[in-house]
């Protein structure tokens, strides 16, 4: 099914309300439900919570007139594919992935929403002026990601993809489960949104720094080392041995160990251990599991340590 929508308060078939600094819209049809909530946290900084649950495959054609803005998007569940007519660029969004990009002018898009794939997004919209103000007030030559984001304003459409880290997941959960109301809610969500921005910028900077320090590695090797890192994270509770991990990533174990040190400044096991400790902290803060249960979840990396 194809559905065309002109986004905004006059959008046909969409219930829309505005209350103070918050706006919300909802669409409920036979083909599924789709809703969103926007919160203006401060001038130039907005938080958007969006979700949909389709009963039929849907092609959503939307045109959103907007000024220049930086967008951060975190896919909590589900996924989708967005195409931009007239451009070769495609945006594939998957659960547990984070995206940072720049958009300018009228953005027309076609989004493929699959039936039975409930999708939940947390999105941050930042006016470039806010970034520029912060950057000029506290210049930091080491903040490669912020410099690159500001430079990306030369193009109308640009984004980068990364993994949602345990620290990001915790903040996303806190945003979605915000227990406060009124002004306290606004302050709380602003602090958590700024924390998300910081975590995303740090991730992008670390990635860029890793690429520069790994300049002696071949591009194909760097790709395989990142693949090994992703495999490691996906199998957190039952990690492969170092040799098996190298085989899965298509690289020899020696090059994998050397590459991990060059790119991530730690060993394979060191990376896994740090990631597990962060995951343990996240699980404890979320609640629902005892300390013993959390400890059991994070104690299964010994096999990798003994073999690598």
pLDDT score of 188: 96
CATH number at residue 29: 2.60.120.10
143-165 pLDDT, tens digit each? 555 666 555 555 566 677 788 88
Q: What is the mean pLDDT of the chain?
A: 80
Q: Domain check: are 89 and 166 in the same one? A: yes
Place of tokens 């002026």: 129
Q: Which residues contact 17 (CB under 8 A, 6 or more apart)?
A: 23, 24, 25
| SS3 assignment, position 23 | strand
Q: Domain check: are 77 and 220 in the same one? A: no
14-67 pLDDT, tens digit each? 888 999 999 999 989 888 999 999 999 999 999 999 999 999 999 888 876 666
Rg from Cα positions in the chain: 21
pLDDT score of 219: 80
- Most confident segment among 71-80, 151-160, 264-273: 71-80
Give the C-alpha separation, 256 to 160, whole Å.
25
Q: Domain check: are 108 and 198 in the same one? A: yes
Q: Domain check: are 10 and 58 in the same one? A: yes
CATH number at residue 240: 1.10.10.60
DSSP 170-187: HHHHHHHT----HHHHHH
Answer whether 0.85 is exceeded by the pTM: no
Q: Domain check: are 129 and 87 in the same one? A: yes
What six digits make up the tokens of 257? Answer: 């160990």
Give the chain's domain count.
Answer: 2
Q: Domain check: are 221 and 142 in the same one? A: no
- Domain of 292 in residue numbering reads as 216-307
Place of tokens 């921005």: 197
């Amino acid at each position: 099914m194809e559905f065309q929508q002109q986004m905004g308060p006059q959008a046909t078939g969409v219930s829309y309300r505005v209350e103070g600094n918050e706006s919300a819209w909802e669409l409920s049809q036979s083909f599924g439900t789709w809703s969103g909530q926007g919160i203006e946290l401060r001038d130039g900084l907005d938080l958007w919570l969006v979700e949909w649950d389709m009963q039929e495959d849907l092609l959503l054609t939307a045109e959103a007139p907007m000024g220049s803005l930086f967008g951060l998007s975190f896919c909590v569940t589900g996924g989708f594919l967005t195409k931009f007519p007239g451009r070769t660029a495609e945006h594939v969004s998957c659960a547990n992935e984070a995206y940072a990009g720049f958009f300018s002018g009228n953005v027309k898009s076609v989004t493929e929403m699959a039936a039975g794939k409930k999708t939940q997004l947390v999105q941050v919209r930042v006016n470039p002026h806010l970034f520029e103000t912060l950057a000029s007030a506290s210049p930091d030559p080491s903040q490669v990601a912020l410099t690159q984001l500001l430079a990306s304003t030369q193009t109308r459409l640009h984004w980068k993809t990364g993994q949602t880290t345990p620290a990001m997941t915790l903040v996303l959960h806190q945003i979605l489960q915000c227990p406060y109301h009124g002004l306290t809610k606004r302050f709380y969500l602003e602090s958590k949104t700024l924390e998300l921005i910081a975590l995303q910028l740090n991730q992008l900077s670390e990635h860029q720094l890793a690429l520069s320090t790994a300049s002696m590695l071949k591009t194909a090797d760097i790709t395989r080392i990142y693949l090994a890192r992703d495999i490691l994270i996906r199998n957190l509770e039952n990690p492969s041995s170092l040799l098996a991990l190298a085989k899965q990533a298509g690289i020899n174990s020696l090059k994998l160990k050397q590459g991990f040190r060059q790119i991530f400044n730690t060993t394979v096991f060191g990376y896994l251990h740090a990631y597990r400790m962060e995951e343990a902290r996240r699980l404890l803060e979320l609640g629902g599991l005892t300390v013993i249960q959390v400890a059991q979840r994070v104690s299964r990396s010994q096999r990798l340590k003994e073999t690598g």
